[in-house]
Amino acid sequence: MAGGEETPQPAIILIEPQLGENIGAAARAMLNFGLTDMRLVAPRDGWPNERAIAMASRADRVLDNVRLYETTEAAIADLNYLYATTARTRDVIKEVATPHAAAAALRRADGEGVRCGILFGKESVGLSKADVALADSIISVPLNPDFSSINLAQAVLLVAYEYFQAGDATPPVRIHQEQRRANKEELTHLFERIETELEARGYFEPIRHRRKTLLRNMRNMFQRLGLMESDVRAFQGIIKGLALPRREIRDDDRKRNDPT
């Protein structure tokens, strides 16, 4: 954004939440996924709420900046685009998106400076038809049709997670250990060591005509493995061990290693 303004993020708007614990759990989920704009419309037990603070588990950045409103209209007045979360979509003619699709659209809106919000209804009955009518689009979570009820905090977590994932650059698959992949020099040394040891033991003598093909296939196999630097060191140690002269097992060694 120009002028040093922060890129907007969607506001999470809880309409008439009933339990402080759910407000706190929703705040915790929001901060887990980088969202901090929580707005409360007429919470049943008022605000601030000690149970919400306890459940939030130090998500103070969210709770300290909660904005309190008496009506939904007041809570959304500064927003340009609004989603409503509801499973009841049959009587409403609006675009219905999954959380995944909505998250991608919200990220695009962020980049364009469009201020968005997401409405969540109270635990007992969800959003009213009047609140849904204020929204531009609906978010509906695909769930088991035989058991599709989730609580308020779970709904916030699902949507917040998808929003975070839509902008996260973490590779979908990665090695957990803080190691690097083996470089080509290390792999070349490993290949040459294997070739040297095989040659020294006459492995290629009966199949000399296939030597180049076998070595090329071996290199291709190791390249596909995506070895880490520690893997190469381990292979070098294994080759060193196999290359040692074979020793005879003495009777006392055999007895010591025999579990019977």
Q: How high is the pLDDT of residue 260?
A: 55
Q: What distance in Å separates the CA atoms of residue 96 and residue 180, rounded to the nearest whole number?
A: 44
Q: What distance in Å separates the CA atoms of residue 228 and residue 163, rounded to the nearest whole number?
A: 33
Q: What distance in Å separates the CA atoms of residue 132 and residue 114, rounded to the nearest whole number?
A: 20
- What are the structure tokens assigned to 99, written together? 């959380």
User: How large is the average pLDDT for residues 96-125?
Assistant: 94
Tens digit of pLDDT for each residue in 193-246?
Answer: 999 998 888 888 888 888 889 899 988 988 888 888 889 999 999 998 888 887
Q: What distance in Å separates the CA atoms of residue 260 and residue 1, rounded to the nearest whole number?
A: 75
Tell me the sheet residues that pair with 231. none
